Chain A
Amino acid sequence: MEYKDYYKILGVSRDAKADQIKAAYRKLARKYHPDVSKEPNAEERFKEVNEANEVLKDSEKRAQYDALGSGWHAGDNFRPPPGAGARGAAGRGYEFSEEEAAQFSDFFSSIFGGMGGGRGGRSSGFGNAGMNADPFAARGRDQTARIRISLEEAYQGGTRQLRLEVPEIDAQGQVKTRIRTLNVRIPAGVTEGQQIRLAGQGSAGGGSASQSSSAGDLFLEVELEPHAVFRSEGKDIHLKLPIAPWEAARGATVPVPTLGGTVSLKIPAGSQSGQRLRLKGRGLPGKPAGDAFVQLEISNPPADSDEARAAFDALAEHFKSFNPRAKLGV
C-alpha cells in the first residue's frame, strides 16, 4: 500500500504545533468540502485531509505515525511494521465504527487498526447522514455520487449504469473496496446540480444481525456535460441562431434546433443581432417545462467573388446614409 504523508497533505511541517495543524486542517476542509468545492477531486482530497487530521490532531496517534520515521515519501510502497494495527497487539488497537473506518485508507487501517466495537461518533465525508436520532438504529450510511449526463439524456430521460465504489470491512478488519453496479433510471427533465434520491440504495446498515438495520439512501447529483449547441440554465435552454442579413431585415421563418427536434421560428422583420426570442416550453421537460431562448446572430455571406462583392457594393450604395455607429457619436 502507499505511504501517506499526512504532514504534506495538511501542508504543515513535521514539528507543527497543534494549533497550526488545526488551522491548516480547517482551511483545507473548507476548501475541499464536497458541498462547497467544485474541484473535480474534492471528495477524495476532503477524505485525505480528514484522515490526516484524524491522525495529527491526536497526540497518541501522531506519535505512533511519527514512529514510522521521516524517511518515507508520499506514494512509497509501505509495509506496516509487525504488530501495527492488529487489534490487541501491543495494546495499540483503536476502535472505530465501521462507518468511520470505511472513510479511511488502507494505510490508515494498517497502522491504527480497522473497526472495533460499534463506537458512535462523528465521521465526515460526503453523503454522511450522521446524527441519527436513534443511536441504536445503525442505519446504513447515505451515499452521494455525481452523475454526468448529456443534455439529450436530461431531456429524454433514460437508464444509466452506475459503478459505485463501496468500502467494506473484511473479516480481518481491513477496508476493501467493492464495485457495485446498478442501473438507474434518469427521469426526463433533470437539471444541473439537481439531486435524485434512491431510497435504500446507500450503504448497508451496520450493527449485528439481530438488529434490523436498513440501508442508507443513495443521492445522485446531476452534472450536465457541456453541449456543442445548447446551454442550460435550470430548465431553460439557450442557443445562438445564425441568420442571414436579409432574413433579419425582411423577416423570415427559419428552422431552429431544439432538444425535442427542429421547430420553425418566425423572425420578425427588422431584427438585429443579439436580440432574443423565446420558444415557450421548448426547454427541459417538466411542469412547467423550461423555455428555449434563441439569440439571433446575423451571419454575413462571404464576399469571396466579384459577384458577391458587387452585391455588397450595391447594398452600400443603396444605404449610403446609414451609419451603424451613429449612437456612438462617430
Chain B
Amino acid sequence: MPKTISAIEGVILDERTVVTVTELTRVCGVSLEQVSSMVSEGMLHPLGGAPEHWRFTGIEVRRTRRALRLQQDLELNLAGAALALDLLDEVEQLRSRVRCLEHQLGALSDAEGPG
C-alpha cells in the first residue's frame, strides 16, 4: 500500500509542544503506572498537580521513548535508565559545546624559533 502524500507536516518534540498524560501514554505505548513511576523517579517533570492534569513537553515525550527503549533493550531498571538519560543529556550538551569551541579555536600551526 504505497503512500503518496504531498508533504507531511510533523510536530517538533520541543518544549513548546505540550501533551496530556493520555496522549503521552498513547504516543509512547506506556501505561499510566509506568509514567507515574518515571515521574517519581524524577525522569519526567510534568506540569499540573494531580496525575489526571499532568502535561508533558515534547522533550519529555522523547525522554519517555528513550527510557523505554533503554529499559527494554539493555534490560535496565528504572533507576539505571534514569541515570543513563541524565548522562546522555549531559553528553549531548557537552558534544554541542565542544563543536562550538572547536570552531572558535581555529587552525593550529607549529611554532618556530629558538624556543
| In the complex, per-residue mask of B3-25: 1 if CB is within 8 Å of any chain A CB, else 0 | 11111111111101000000001
* A183-B7, A194-B12 known; A133+B103 contact, CB < 8 A: no
In the complex the two chains form, is A220's CB within 8 Å of B29's CB? no
Which positions in B face A, CB cutoff 8 Å? 1-14, 16, 25, 27-31, 34, 58, 61-62, 65-66, 68-70, 72-74, 84, 88, 92, 95-97, 99-100, 103-104, 106
Segment with Cβ contacts to B, from A4-12, A57-65, A233-241:
A233-241
Residues of A162-202 at the interface with B, using a CB-CB cut-off of 8 Å, are 180-185, 187, 189-199, 201
Residues of B within 8 A of A295 (CB): 104
Q: How many A-B residue pairs have CB under 8 A?
A: 122
Stretch at the interface among A112-120, A123-131, A305-313: A123-131
Report whether B27 and A195 are in contact in the complex, using a CB–CB cutoff of 8 Å. Answer: no
What are 17 A-B pairs with beta-carbon distances under 8 A? A35-B70, A35-B88, A46-B73, A130-B29, A133-B29, A142-B65, A184-B7, A185-B10, A187-B12, A190-B12, A194-B14, A196-B10, A198-B10, A219-B65, A240-B106, A287-B16, A297-B106
Q: Would A231 and B100 count as touching, CB distance under 8 A?
A: yes
Cβ A193 vs Cβ B103 within 8 A: no
Interface check A318, CB cutoff 8 A? no
What is the CA–CA distance of A181 and B7 in the complex, to the nearest angstrom?
11
User: Quick check: A33 and B70 within 8 Å, CB to CB?
Assistant: yes
A137 → B minimal CB distance (Å) = 9
Chain A residues with CB under 8 A of B61: 197
Decide if B73 touches A129 in the complex (CB within 8 Å).
no
Q: Is A14 an interface residue, CB under 8 A from the partner?
A: no
Contact A184 to B28, CB < 8 A, known contacts A35-B69, A131-B68: no
Assuming the A-B contacts A35-B70, A36-B88, A184-B7, are A129 and B103 also in contact, with contact meaning beta carbons closer than 8 angstroms in the complex? no
Shortest beta-carbon distance, A188 to chain B, in Å?
10
* Chain B, residue nearest A238 (CB): B100
Using a CB–CB distance below 8 Å, which chain A residues touch chain B? 26, 29-30, 33-36, 38, 46, 50, 122, 124-126, 128-133, 139, 142, 159, 180-185, 187, 189-199, 201, 204, 217, 219-220, 231-234, 238, 240, 286-287, 295, 297
Assembled-state Cα–Cα distance A249/B69 (Å)? 56
Interface of A is mostly: loop
B73-A29 in contact (CB<8A): yes
Which residue of chain B has its CB nearest to the CB of A189?
A: B12
A235→B111 CA distance, assembly (Å) = 37
Out of B1, B12, B13, B65, name the residue touching A129 (CB < 8 Å).
B65
Name B92's contact: one of A193, A217, A240 (CB within 8 Å).
A193
Q: How far is the CA of A30 from the CA of B65 in the complex (A)?
A: 17
Contacts A29-B73, A131-B34, A159-B7 known; 15 new A-B pairs at CB < 8 A: A26-B74, A38-B95, A131-B68, A133-B29, A185-B7, A187-B10, A195-B62, A196-B13, A197-B10, A198-B10, A231-B99, A240-B103, A240-B106, A287-B16, A295-B104
Kindly list chain B residues whose C-beta atoms are within 8 Å of the C-beta of A183: 5-8
Tell me how far the C-beta of B51 lies from the nearest C-beta in chain A, rounded to whole angstroms: 16
Q: Across the interface, which residues of B come within 8 angstroms of A132, CB to CB?
A: 29
